[in-house]
């Protein structure tokens, strides 16, 4: 079977690494990897391919740094040409980025089945570009691979149980990646770890970076936290741009975006995670950290329901500080099967081979 995989943004490289490894071990399955170019810096893209030994993409589309419409449109146009030329039997897309939607739409219009990994997630905030991307991608996917029970139940609520789409609860490929790479990362990472108990932070969501009130609230809170616990913040290019634009200053040195091994190592050693990323909320849990999420909603509700994660209002530094202080001292039992058993990629590949 010939499968075309579309990736473009940092978290998709991590997810694709897990499935690509299983594909390489599976007879009768050929993968054509396409990189849309959405993320393009050495430390936002290449480092993941090198560290996780993902095969070099067969095609690089070089679409980036333009608005949502232009980005999605240009990607679709280039993917369509590739699909006509390569004629895969299925197109595999991951998550909720513009690259995901472009790949799914281009395939659907050519009547090529679409498999969506990380299907069924909802924040119920349709002002997020990611929410729009995931709802539309789910709607036109033939195979919907859900990481959690909540994701399956979201799809049922939307009527997917009455449609002919295939909805399967597979577990989360990001958990597969965390288990597989943890030991290698501890040997290979060279990231510097603070001596004191530190807080690992990541900020990049448009809803936070593009709203000066929220970005200011986050900066104030992080500056405060840093007075007692050093904050390690690998700075996303979007956030860097908006901090400069709004003349907001962090009182500590940030670090450049880091590779997966360094990220895992920091997650392993941190005392708490503060983030607005979807993936990092789960990775905090995989590495037994409590998490404070700087958003009004999360797609990973099971973390909040079980007390591993709490939401804080980005525009309210006091709210962030209160939650951070509470989560720093809260002890939790992390041994719960919320995201599968670390074999999600195998389940997905097996299901693709039998159902397409």
Q: Does 275 bind ligand UD1 (CB under 6 A)?
A: no
Residue 150 vs 277, nearer CB to ligand UD1 = 277
What is the smallest separation between the CB atom of 317 and ligand UD1, expressed in angstroms? 23
DSSP, collapsed to helix, strand or coil, labels residue 116 as strand
Which token pair is 319?
Answer: 């709210």
Distance CA 158, CA 148 (A): 16
Q: Does 129 bind ligand UD1 (CB under 6 A)?
A: yes
- Beta carbons of 104 and 43 less than 8 angstroms apart: no
Q: Which of 5, 98, 148, 154 binds ligand UD1 (CB under 6 A)?
A: 98
Q: Does 113 bind ligand UD1 (CB under 6 A)?
A: no
Residue 77 vs 318, nearer CB to ligand UD1 = 77
What is the smallest separation between the CB atom of 54 and ligand UD1, expressed in angstroms? 16
Q: Does 11 bind ligand UD1 (CB under 6 A)?
A: yes
What is the smallest separation between the CB atom of 234 and ligand UD1, expressed in angstroms? 11
Find the part of the chain contacting ligand UD1 (CB under 6 A) among 75-83, 84-92, 95-103, 342-350: 95-103
Long-range contacts of 103-107 (CB under 8 A, 24+ apart): 103/6, 103/34, 103/36, 103/75, 103/79, 104/136, 104/137, 104/140, 104/141, 105/72, 105/76, 105/136, 105/140, 106/75, 106/76, 106/79, 106/80, 107/4, 107/79, 107/83
Query: SS3 helix, strand, coil % of the chain, rounded to 5?
Result: 50, 15, 35
- Residue 62 backbone class (left: φ over 0; alpha: ψ -120 to 50; beta: rest): left
Q: Which of 1, 26, 29, 40 binds ligand UD1 (CB under 6 A)?
A: 40
CA 198, chain centre distance (Å)? 23
Which token pair is 45?
Answer: 């893209």
What is the smallest separation between the CB atom of 174 and ligand UD1, expressed in angstroms? 12
Residue 10 vs 295, nearer CB to ligand UD1 = 10
Q: Does 37 bind ligand UD1 (CB under 6 A)?
A: no
What is the smallest separation between the CB atom of 9 and ligand UD1, expressed in angstroms? 4
Residue 37 vs 113, nearer CB to ligand UD1 = 37
Backbone torsions φ then ψ of 4, nearest 5 degrees: -105, 125
Q: By the criterion CB under 6 A, which residues form the site for ligand UD1?
A: 9-11, 38-41, 44-45, 64-65, 96-98, 129-130, 204, 237-238
């Amino acid at each position: 079977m010939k499968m075309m995989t579309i990736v473009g943004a940092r978290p998709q490289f991590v997810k694709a690494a897990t499935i690509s490894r299983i594909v390489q071990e599976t007879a009768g399955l050929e993968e054509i990897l396409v990189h849309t170019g959405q993320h393009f810096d050495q430390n936002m893209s290449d480092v993941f391919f090198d560290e996780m030994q993902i095969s070099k993409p067969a095609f690089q589309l070089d679409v980036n740094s333009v608005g949502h419409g232009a980005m999605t449109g240009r990607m679709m146009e280039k993917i369509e040409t590739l699909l006509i030329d390569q004629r895969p039997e299925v197109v595999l897309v991951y998550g909720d980025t513009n690259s995901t939607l472009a790949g799914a739409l281009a395939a659907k219009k050519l009547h090529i089945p679409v498999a969506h990994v990380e299907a069924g997630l909802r924040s119920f905030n349709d002002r997020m570009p990611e929410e729009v991307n995931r709802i539309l991608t789910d709607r036109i996917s033939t195979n919907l691979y859900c990481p959690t029970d909540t994701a399956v139940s979201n799809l049922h609520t939307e009527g997917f149980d009455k449609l002919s789409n295939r909805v399967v609860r597979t577990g989360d490929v990001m958990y597969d990646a965390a288990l597989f790479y943890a030991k290698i990362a501890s040997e290979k990472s060279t990231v510097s770890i603070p001596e004191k108990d530190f807080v690992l932070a990541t900020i990049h969501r448009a809803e936070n970076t593009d709203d000066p009130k929220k970005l200011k609230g986050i900066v104030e809170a992080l500056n405060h936290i840093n007075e007692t616990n050093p904050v390690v913040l690998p700075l996303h290019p979007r956030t860097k741009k908006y901090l400069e634009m709004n003349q907001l200053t962090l009182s500590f040195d940030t670090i450049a975006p880091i590779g997966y091994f360094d990220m895992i190592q920091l997650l392993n050693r941190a005392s708490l995670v503060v983030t607005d990323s979807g993936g990092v909320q789960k990775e905090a849990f995989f590495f037994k950290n409590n998490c404070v999420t700087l958003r009004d909603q999360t797609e990973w509700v099971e973390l909040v329901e079980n007390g591993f994660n709490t939401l804080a209002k980005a525009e309210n530094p006091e709210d962030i500080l209160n939650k951070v202080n509470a989560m720093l001292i809260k002890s939790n039992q992390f041994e719960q099967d919320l995201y599968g058993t670390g074999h999600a990629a195998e389940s997905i590949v097996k299901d693709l081979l039998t159902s397409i």
